[in-house]
Structure 1
Amino acid sequence: MKPYKSLFFFSTMMLLSCNNPSEQKQETMYKTTRTIERLDPAINAIISDSAKIEIIAEGFEWSEGPLWLEKQQMLIFSDVPMNTIYKWTEEKGKEVYLKPSGYTGSEPSVCKEPGSNGLTFDNNGNLVLCQHGDRRMARMDAPLDKPTAKFSTLADKYQGKRFSSPNDAVYNKAGELFFTDPPYGLQTQDDTDSKKEIKHNGVYKVMKDGTVKLLIDSITRPNGLAFLPGEKKLIVACSDPAFPNWYIYDLNVDTFEIDNGRIFYSASEEAKTMGGLPDGLKIDKNGNIFATGPGGVYIFNSDGKKLGMIKLENSASNCALSPDEKTLYVTNDMYLLRIKLRD
């Protein structure tokens, strides 16, 4: 089918106020950017024709790991090189939420990306962080509305060897933690780093008793990961330029053992002409996948069909859905984006 597109062009930021003097409420109009590409009519039920790609904050080194806090009505996200988590609210815009976020050592880090990366909640609502610099999965031991750089280690070793730099994470309903461990938080950011202790770059599960189990060691650069509804299938992104793919695995719902790994979607063609690689992803309750990759955010159905794409100029790293799944937030290099998908 020939692609058809909805186009949105850059607009300047302005403030619009009501004409009625008694109504002084102001609405911030943000800069908008790039295009929404529609490849299949099914995308129209996911993203309306009126949807805009808004730049709601900017000025970051490399934004990552967005996570919506419903009670606080705020989004938090990592700036990995700056070892900082920011928060964004409609009222105040961007502010520092937590620093340090991923490296708590007393000596300055020699790594390019020492901060936190992916952020998630455990099943008790605590903030859990992928910490590059400290090379561990950790829980923040503080309330969400009073963040403090006090952490407990959930996992930092496999068979006595330190992880390289946990990247992204997700919990299942049973309370088990799944995460990826590529080398991007090491000094050289590759497998030649002298401080890399584990030969492979793995996908792991932390069981409820704290036992760490290796699930996958065949993906060269495991990155984002998420379950399809029902938790019978796991999708894992590979951010290796040689293998820019998303993989899907079957899970046994009783043991959570995985098998039958295969390519869900390959972005090898897109990667030839577009910047970025498969990275973070989120999946809605209907099984639609929002996956950051070459050129922007891909929208797939649960069968791996590409329905459309939020096309972006800069590399996108991850995304987050609001609880009603009507708003998508995207970390986009130096930008934080918001797309109100539909009313």
Structure 2
Amino acid sequence: MRDSPYEVLDERFRRLFNPTAHVETLATGCRWAEGPAYFPAGRYLVWSDIPNDRMMRYDECSGTAAVFRQPSNNSNGNTLDRAGRLVTCEHRARRVTRTEFDGSITVLADRYDGRRLNSPNDVVVRSDGSIWFTDPTYGIDSDYEGGRAESEIGRSHVYRIDPQTGELSIVADDFIKPNGLAFSPDETRLYVSDTGRTHDDRHPAHIRVFDVRNEKSLSGGEVFADCTAGLFDGFRIDEGARIWSSAEDGVHCIATDGTLIGKIRVPETVANVCFGGPLRNRLYICGTTSLYSVYLFDNGTRTF
């Protein structure tokens, strides 16, 4: 019997996947695939290939992949805003940008209090239009994913861009290396991963959870889940409030109580994931060199 990619650790996971649905390799040839973002209107996915300084595009209808943008300023995380425009974290330019409908680029944030950001990493847009992003130092730690430089800020924070004023504010300042982030379905909670262990074995490899106060600030921040295989990098949250997170051995599914209930094994270290397809039940997976996907059952797994 062919080995299954699914590992059930809790019976709650069993109803979420179809045992006959296999993990498919859609494209390969990347150096570090990251930042997938799905465009429903065009049925295509854009993702970053950071060291190759390019963004890629996968066409869901034709099943083909091609370069979307090159150079890309060593782009990393991507998402869509409420109007369907692409919002991108750029390592090399140390900024967050928006791609307008005519293809022009608008800079949304590149400095805080007059000092350049480190290297914005991952980004999410709330329903009020505010943009939340993480800013660790991975893009300035070396020339591989950006350009080596000293941090002007001296720390790695989580930021919020105000939708009316464009003002940039720090919403969390006690991370080592803040990385992936996502809101709960009702947007009352924000989950943020800390991948500080890349720099020191004593540092975190977990996801924390915050309460969103007055739509502009955070409270709490307790550890929600520890990673059991490598690091939690990028992740998404489904309509049932479960987390589907990247990890060293594939994708980890974490229940609302913080329990790891199952895994989808992938042959490469996973950096990020994204839901797509007309029913949002197709999980796109950015592995190290490749883009993968797998179809899930529609049991509250659909998400934007």
Q: TM-score, normalised by structure 1?
A: 0.79
Identity of matched residues, %: 31
Match of 2:179 among 214, 223, 228: 223
Q: Give the drift of 1:46.
A: 1.5
Question: What letter is aligned with 1:213?
Answer: S
Contact map agreement 2:140 2:149 (CA 8 A) in 1: no
Structure 1 residues 101-132: Cα deviation after superposition (integer angstroms, max 9, x where no partner): 2x2xxxxxxxxxxx111111111111110011
Q: Which residue of 2 aligns with 1:29?
A: none
Match of 2:12 among 39, 42, 67: 42
Q: Which residue of 2 aligns with 1:257?
A: 217
Q: Which residue of 2 aligns with 1:235?
A: 191
Q: Which of structures 1 and 2 has the bigger CA Rg? A: 1
Contact map agreement 1:228 1:302 (CA 8 A) in 2: no
Q: Give the whole-Å Cα distance in 1 for the aligned partners of 2:142 and 2:49.
A: 19
Question: What letter is aligned with 1:67?
Answer: A
Answering whether residue 130 of structure 2 is matched by residue 176 of structure 1, we say yes
Q: Say which SS state the counterpart of residue 42 (structure 1) adopts.
A: helix
Q: Give the whole-Å Cα distance in 2 for the aligned partners of 1:63 and 1:97.
A: 14
Q: Say which SS state the counterpart of residue 7 (structure 1) adopts.
A: coil
Unpaired runs of 5+ residues, structure 2, are: 198-202, 299-304
Q: Give the drift of 1:256.
A: 2.8
Q: Which residue of 1 aligns with 2:42?
A: 72
Q: Say which SS state the counterpart of residue 285 (structure 1) adopts.
A: coil
The equivalences for 1:46-195 within 5 A come to 46-90=16-60, 91-101=62-72, 103=73, 115-143=74-102, 148=103, 150-188=104-142, 194-195=149-150
Q: Give the drift of 1:92.
A: 4.7
Contact map agreement 1:284 1:325 (CA 8 A) in 2: no
Q: Say which SS state the counterpart of residue 204 (structure 1) adopts.
A: strand
Contact map agreement 1:240 1:277 (CA 8 A) in 2: no
Q: Give the whole-Å Cα distance in 2 for the aligned partners of 1:71 and 1:194.
A: 39
Q: Say which SS state the counterpart of residue 258 (structure 2) adopts.
A: coil
Structure ranking higher on relative contact order (CA contacts 8 Å, 6+ apart): 2
Q: Give the whole-Å Cα distance in 1 for the aligned partners of 2:235 and 2:150.
A: 29
Q: Give the whole-Å Cα distance in 1 for the aligned partners of 2:263 and 2:196.
A: 21
Structure 1 residues 153-186: Cα deviation after superposition (integer angstroms, max 9, x where no partner): 1011111111011000001111100000011111
Q: Which residue of 1 aligns with 2:158?
A: 203
Contact map agreement 1:135 1:166 (CA 8 A) in 2: yes
Q: CA RMSD in A?
A: 1.8
Q: Give the drift of 1:187.
A: 4.5
Q: Give the drift of 1:45.
A: 2.2
Q: Say which SS state the counterpart of residue 12 (structure 2) adopts.
A: helix
Unpaired runs of 5+ residues, structure 1, are: 1-5, 9-34, 104-114
